[in-house]
Amino acid sequence: MNKKIPERKCLGCNARKQKNELIRVVRLKDGEVVLDKTGKVSGRGAYICPDINCYNKARKAKRFETNLEIAIPEEIYNSLAKKLEEDEKAGN
């Protein structure tokens, strides 16, 4: 009946939320970092709220780097931020 959805912690505000309420940021095998909306992309993942403020906080504190164990170039950060902002505007 009530399938339990696992909880994950947002790297920005540290709130624990159900996985499907968060956005997954994934480090792919080749070292690329992408947003994963399906939750199905394989790779090491970190989670944030679908909120640019949480994203910026996590970015500033370098939590993505720590969590994903990879250096993330500015351009990747900027393109992820852009995608997040587009989603916010679209109301997703």
Helix (H) or strand (E) holding 19: none
Buried b (16+ CB within 10 A) or exposed e, 76-86: beeebeeebee
Out of 25, 33, 46, 49, point to the residue binding Zn ion (CB under 5 A): 49
Under the binding rule (CB under 5 A), the answer on residue 10 touching Zn ion is: yes
Out of 12, 27, 58, 68, point to the residue binding Zn ion (CB under 5 A): 12
Under the binding rule (CB under 5 A), the answer on residue 28 touching Zn ion is: no
Report how far residue 2's alpha carbon sits from residue 72's, in angstroms, rounded to the nearest whole number: 38
Q: Are 31 and 74 in contact (CB under 8 A)?
A: no
From 1-9, 36-44, 46-54, 59-67, span contacting Zn ion (CB under 5 A): 46-54
Under the binding rule (CB under 5 A), the answer on residue 33 touching Zn ion is: no
From 34-42, 43-51, 62-70, 75-83, span contacting Zn ion (CB under 5 A): 43-51
- Alpha-carbon Rg of the chain, whole angstroms? 13
Q: Which residues contribute to the site for Zn ion (CB under 5 A)?
A: 10, 12-13, 49, 54
